[in-house]
Amino acid sequence: MFNNLIKSAFFFLITYIIASCSPKIGMYDGLLNGIVAKPEVLQLHRDSVRVSIQGAIPLALLNQDAKIYLYPEYVYGEGSLRLGEIIPFDGAYNKKLIDAIVDERIVFPYLPGMEKGELVIKGIVERKKGTFQAPNKVLAYGLETTPLLTRYGQVLPDQPIPTIGIYMMRDFQDMNRIVTRDFYIPFELGSSLKQDPIFPVAFRDYLIKGEPWMKINKVIVTGLSSPESRDNVLGLPKKRSDFIVEKLKTNRSLTNIPIESMYRAGDWFDLRQLLSDYEGISQQQKEEVYAILLNEKSFASQLSDLQKISAYRNISRDLFPKLRSAKISFELENTKLNDLEISSGVFALLNGQNPVEGFDQDHLTYAGQNVLKLDEKEAVYKKLNELFPSELSHNNLGVVYLNMAQRELDVRERNIFISDAISNLSSANKIKTTSIALHNIGRAYLLRGDYFEAYIAISEASTLEKEETNDFLNYNEGLRGALDILNGDYRLATIRFNRTVENESNFFNKGIAYFLSTDYLLALENFEASVQSDRDSGYGFYGLALVAAVNGERDTMIENLGKAIDRSEFLKEKALKDINFQNFRSDQAFINLFK
């Protein structure tokens, strides 16, 4: 009996102690009940995560001797990232106090492995009687990293390294065009051709020296006569032409070159040609002359009309004597861009030797455009910068360094290439501001991870383009849209992609923009278009799997995700951590995809 009394007394003592202590220990269990995170699923913006922690601490827990501290942290893998300290209440109590508001915006860097983490908040109450900790609360599960799928020319695992940047190109087709050089051989007024004509010095020099990189295909001699009565003699133009042809045939410089004879009489063609460069009359007078020459009257009537206007005195004095002539036209073929000779000249220059005579800026530019290896392009454009600096040479050398950086694994060397690229592209922009150089500057900043500066440069490049449909603008807006996704401006990105080239990566990016905007129908349409454009990359199928996952379409998700990860190891690893598939991780069909 006595033993039973002792046991009962001991039981009531323990119960009293627990009852006395429990309000003190458990009174802060509800400290964090009103604290939430927005958004509940964290999202990646560029290279960081942004979240707002909001709510309030209950009034019942606030008193003068209490200070409340909140410590948010992101827990992932085997570690955690502390996100600072929030003090919603520092002991400043008054009767009007309703609650302690919490409204804290937090930005923290994204680190690999965070996809499966949790945003946890810890609460500490500091009082004179001691320090008390509330139970931890998980505010958000996982991290939405779908923006990392955005394609903007970056190097991706198991994908070919893309070439980035835009070279300024010269059109060299015109370098092989047929051109003519004209010389007028004067005759005396009404000359009977019994005397040899006087060949101008420029013509004689041309016969001797020729023109570098120009090959004479043929010579055309056209006999002319002026409208003056003494020179306007029937058959005179033909005789002048025939006479000059015979003289040219005896010249050794023209051996084996065809020489053709022709003539014009009662025609204003040659006078109109001479008028185009003539400065002896005003533009208004020129128009008056042209009106007469093109009025379709007879030659005699037109001459009569000319004689009545004020400009006649000048053109008869300055231009008619040039029509007392035979015009010799050399038809030339430009052979300037012979690949073998250019290669030889470039090799000589790069080795400190003198190239062949006539080797110039065009040859170096042509060589830079046509060599394939980056180190060869670098050498050519560096020499071009040294000898003939221009916006083209600096821009193109900058693009070479962009692609060298794109392929470099060593961080220090990569950063050197990026700095060299920015330096040359900035020089190109100083010589002449162009949308191409600005686009490339944006590319350089993107390689550096400076999304803000990249976006500014890419946007400025678009503003320089006036035509809404030109190829450059369509291409540039695709990159601008990709940056909008990384910046979290998903709706704006969809607008950009409406102006871009329709290809696999742009369709995919547009689908990502719509997916992140929760417009799943349009996301689906663009992912399907991406698959139709290229079934081999796997990205379009991955997009279709994302839409199916959020719509709860298990079989469709499994089918498309299987096609995606069969085509890409990168997408396979991404799917294992993708928060959009978290509801399917225990599904055996999902598990089987990764075996």
Provide the 3-class DSSP secondary structure of residue 359.
coil
pLDDT for 205 beyond 90: no
Position 99 scores a pLDDT of 63
* C-alpha–C-alpha distance, residues 239 and 222, integer Å: 10
**Could you tell me which residue, 94 or 320, shows the higher pLDDT?**
320
| Position 75 pLDDT exceeds 70 | yes
Q: pLDDT, tens digit, for every residue of 384-425?
A: 999 899 999 999 999 999 999 999 999 999 999 999 999 999
What is the pLDDT at residue 69? Answer: 92
Mean pLDDT of 544-562: 96
Q: What is the mean pLDDT of residues 349-353?
A: 73
Place of tokens 């958000």: 140
The single-letter DSSP state of residue 224 is -
Q: Give the residue, 280 or 78, on which the prediction is more confident.
A: 280
Ranking 124-133, 286-295, 546-555 by mean pLDDT, the lowest is 124-133
Q: Which residues of 124-160 are buried (b: 16+ CB within 10 A; e: fewer)?
A: bbeeeeeebebeebebbebbbbbbbbbbbbeebeeee
Q: Is the pLDDT of residue 126 over 80?
A: yes
- In this prediction, residues 556-572 reach a mean pLDDT of 94
Q: What is the pLDDT of residue 128?
A: 83
The predicted pLDDT at position 356 comes to 60
Exposed/middle/buried for 70, CB within 10 Å: 0-12, 13-18, 19+?
buried
Does residue 193 surpass a pLDDT of 80? Answer: no
Mention every residue, 6+ apart, whose C-beta is less than 8 A from residue 394: 385, 424, 425, 427, 428, 431
Residue 206 CA to residue 328 CA, distance in Å, equals 12
Q: Give me the pLDDT at residue 444, please.
A: 97
pLDDT, average across residues 35-45 = 86
Strands (E), 256-338: 259-263, 325-334
| Amino acid 341: pLDDT | 65
Q: pLDDT of 260-294, one tens digit each?
A: 999 998 889 999 989 988 999 999 999 999 999 99
Q: What's the DSSP call for residue 345?
A: H
- pLDDT above 50: residue 590: yes
Treating both helix axes as pointing N-terminal to C-terminal, what angle do 299-306 and 283-293 enclose, rounded to 10 degrees? Answer: 160
**Cα–Cα distance for residue pair 146/575, rounded to 1 Å:** 10
**Which pLDDT score, from 0 to 100, does residue 438 have?**
96
Query: Chain-wide mean pLDDT for the chain?
Result: 87
pLDDT tier, 73 (very low <50, low <70, confident <90, very high otherwise): very high
Grade residue 501 by pLDDT with cuts at 50, 70 and 90: confident
**What are the residue ranges spanned by the domains of the chain?**
36-144, 176-278+319-334
Question: Is domain 36-144 in CATH 1.10.10.410, yes or no?
Answer: no
Alpha carbon distance 487, 489 (integer Å): 6
Q: What is the pLDDT of residue 197?
A: 64
Tell me the H-state helices in 324-470: 339-350, 361-370, 374-387, 391-407, 411-431, 435-448, 451-463
CA–chain centroid gap for 420, Å, is: 18
User: Looking at 176-180, 208-212, 374-378, 452-456, which range is the least confident one?
Assistant: 176-180
Write out pLDDT tens, residues 452-494: 999 999 999 999 987 767 889 999 999 999 999 998 899 999 9
- Provide CB contacts within 8 A for 58, sequence distance 6+: 30, 31, 33, 34, 99
With a cut of 80, say whether residue 9 has pLDDT above it. no
Give the pLDDT confidence score for residue 15 in this predicted structure: 38
The DSSP letter of residue 578 is -
pLDDT band at 190 (very low <50, low <70, confident <90, very high): confident
Q: Is residue 78 over pLDDT 60?
A: yes
Give the DSSP letter of residue 374. Answer: H
Q: Which fold has domain 176-278+319-334?
A: 60s Ribosomal Protein L30; Chain: A; (3.30.1330)
Would you state the structure tokens that stand for residue 181, as one six-digit string?
């050089």
User: Mean pLDDT across the stretch 85-96?
Assistant: 74
The pLDDT of residue 106 is above 80: yes
pLDDT tops 90 at residue 179: no
Give the percent of the chain with pLDDT over 90.
56
Stretch 556-571: mean pLDDT, rounded? 94
Mean pLDDT, to the nearest integer, of 198-212?
Answer: 84
